[in-house]
Amino acid sequence: MSEAASCDVVVIGAGIAGLTAANRATQFGLRAIVLEKSAEEQYRSNSRYTYGTFHIHFTGVEADEAELTAKIETATEGFARKDLARAIARDGRRLMQWLREDGVGLVNLGTYNTNVLSPAWRMGFGLTWKGYAGDVALQKLEANLRGRQGRLLRGARASTIKRVPGGIEVDTDGGNRFRAAAVVIADGGFQASLDLIREHITPAADKLLQRNGGTAMGDGLRMAKALGAKIVGLENFYGHLHSRDAMKTDRLWPRPYADELAAAGIVVDESGHRVADEGFGGIWLSNAIARLPDPLATSAIFDQAIWDGPPGTGHVQPPNPLMLEAGATVHKAGTIAELAAVAGLPADRLQRTVDAYNAALDAGALQSLTPPRSGKNRPWPIGTPPFYALPLCAAITNTMGGIAVDGDGRVLDTSDKPIPGLFAAGSTIGGLNGGPHAGYVGGLINTVIGLRAAEAIAAAVAK
C-alpha cells in the first residue's frame, strides 16, 4: 500500500451527483479527488445514459416547496425521511441554478420536463447517449473540476473506507490510499449486482432486464455498512416494463417502454390471472412482477382503443409504433379467445379475467377485484377489437434503497446519528424513494444531496 495522498474530500463515483459534490467543494477552496472505478474515458454509468430530466415525482422543481414536499409524502406513502423530502423540495431549484451557472445545459421540454440536460434526445428506439444529455453534462462537470484543481482518477475502485485520527482513509483495489476530512459515497446503488438483487429484491435476478449502465455493484453500500451505517429500503427499485424481447436486443431499451399500456389495461401471468394493481403504474408493476416466481411470464392485455389512444401513442417515444418498428412481439387477434391461443394463455381463464375487469370497471367496483385495482392511473375498458397481448419483462434502472442519510447527506448509523466525515449522495442513498408501492420521487434530483453534502463538509472544515 502506497503512502496516503491527502486532500479535503474524496468522492467515490464520478456520476452527476459525485461530480456535483466535488465541484461544489472546490468552490469553497477544498481539495477534491474523485475516484471512478472505470478506466474508460467515457465511463459507463446511469448518469452517462440518462435522458436527463430533473423532476420531483413528475413535477417541475419550480413548484412551491410545500407542494413538492407533499408530493413526496404522498408518492412514498409516508416512507420518505422528512428532512430529505424538505431538502429536495427546497433546493431542487437551487441545484438547477447552480448547474446552469456551472455551464451545464438545461432545456424546457414542457409538462414536468422543465429542466432536461441538453442536448436532449427524444427520438426513435434503443440506447443513444454519445453527445447527448448525461454524456455532455459529465464531460462539462469533469472539465470544471480540472479547472478548479480537482482530480478525477479513472481505474480507481474504492475497496475500503476506514476512520482514522483526524479524518477518513479510502483504499483502492490498485493499492492507493487517500486521506481526507470527509468522504462522499456516490457510486449509484447496486442494480448491476445480481447477488445483491437476489438477496434483497428477487431470487430471479437473472430474469430482470438490466436497464442501466451496468456498473453499480453496491461497493459504497458495503463499505458504509462496514462502518456501521444504517441501510434502508433495499427491497424496491426504479424501473419500467418493456417488451420481453428487450432481454435479447438493445433495440428495445431504454425506450420505448410499456408502462402506459399496462396501467391502462391489465397484466396477467401464464395462468391468465392478474398479478398486481395496475393503477399504481409501471414502476410498481415492475417491482411486483420482479417478485413473481417467474418474472418473464406476464403479459399486458389491452385493446385497439388503448393501443391507438394516449396509452399507446401519447408518450414522446410511444410503444405504438416504436415497439413494432424495433421488432417487439405484439400478439393481436379479433377475440379474447383467439388472442389467448396466439399468446399461449388459457382461453377460458383469460376471458373470465377480462370480463371481471370490464364488469368491475362498469360498476365502479374495481376495488372488489383480486387483486384490487386503484384509479391512480386511468383504467380503460378492454372491449374494442382487435385485442393485444404484449409479453413483458421488468427492467431495473436503479435501486431505491441504500445508505441512510439526513438532508445534508450525512451518513447515519443504526441509531440515526451521523457518522463523522462520512456522506453519501445520488442513487446510493436510501430514505427518499420507496414505500409500500415503490413510490418514485426521482433519480437525478438526488444530486441535490451532493450539493448539500459539499456545503456541509465545507462548513465543518471551516470550524
Are 43 and 191 part of one and the same domain?
yes
**What integer pLDDT is reported at residue 207 of this predicted model?**
99
Are 301 and 442 part of one and the same domain?
no
Q: Is the pLDDT of residue 424 over 90?
A: yes
Determine the Cα–Cα distance for residues 367 and 374; give it in Å rounded to an integer.
Answer: 7
**What integer pLDDT is reported at residue 2 of this predicted model?**
63
Q: Is the pLDDT of residue 17 over 80?
A: yes
Are 211 and 276 part of one and the same domain?
no
Q: Is the pLDDT of residue 173 over 90?
A: yes
Determine the Cα–Cα distance for residues 327 and 399; give it in Å rounded to an integer.
Answer: 29
| Closest C-alpha among 358, 360, 454 to residue 410 | 454
Are 356 and 211 part of one and the same domain?
no
Tally Cβ neighbours within 10 Å of residue 2. Answer: 11
| Closest C-alpha among 414, 462, 453, 435 to residue 17 | 453
Using pLDDT thresholds of 50, 70 and 90, give the confidence band for residue 346: very high
Q: State the helix-helix crossing angle for 65-75 and 82-101, rounded to 10 degrees.
A: 130
Q: Is the pLDDT of residue 42 over 80?
A: yes
Are 272 and 386 part of one and the same domain?
yes
Of 352, 375, 396, the last residue of a domain is 396
Find the mean pLDDT for residues 418-437.
98
DSSP collapsed to 3 states, 92-151: HHHHHHHHHHCCCCEECCCCCCCCEECCCCCCCCCCCCCCCHHHHHHHHHHHHHHHCCCE
Find the mean pLDDT for residues 394-407.
99
Q: Is the pLDDT of residue 370 over 70?
A: yes
Determine the Cα–Cα distance for residues 38 and 52; give it in Å rounded to an integer.
Answer: 21
Of 373, 396, 419, the last residue of a domain is 396
Residue 39 domain boundaries: 5-235+400-462
Share of the chain above pLDDT 90, in %: 96
Are 154 and 173 part of one and the same domain?
yes
Task: Tell me the CATH number at 85.
Answer: 3.50.50.60
Q: Tally the domains of the chain.
A: 2
For 54-89, the pLDDT digits (tens) are 999 999 999 999 999 999 999 999 999 999 999 999
Task: Tell me the CATH number at 288.
Answer: 3.90.700.10
Using pLDDT thresholds of 50, 70 and 90, give the confidence band for residue 1: low
Using pLDDT thresholds of 50, 70 and 90, give the confidence band for residue 430: very high
Are 242 and 231 part of one and the same domain?
no
Are 153 and 208 part of one and the same domain?
yes
Of 396, 411, 436, the last residue of a domain is 396
- Could you tell me the end-to-end alpha-carbon distance of the chain, in angstroms, rounded to an integer? 32
Are 89 and 230 part of one and the same domain?
yes
**What integer pLDDT is reported at residue 121 of this predicted model?**
85
Using pLDDT thresholds of 50, 70 and 90, give the confidence band for residue 436: very high
Are 15 and 152 part of one and the same domain?
yes
For 107-150, the pLDDT digits (tens) are 999 999 999 999 998 888 999 999 999 999 999 999 999 999 99
Are 330 and 274 part of one and the same domain?
yes
Are 321 and 219 part of one and the same domain?
no
pLDDT averaged over every residue in the chain: 97
Using pLDDT thresholds of 50, 70 and 90, give the confidence band for residue 463: confident
For 241-270, the pLDDT digits (tens) are 999 999 999 999 999 999 999 999 999 999
Cell of 334: 379479433
Which 3 state secondary structure label does DSSP give 457? helix
**What integer pLDDT is reported at residue 342 of this predicted model?**
99
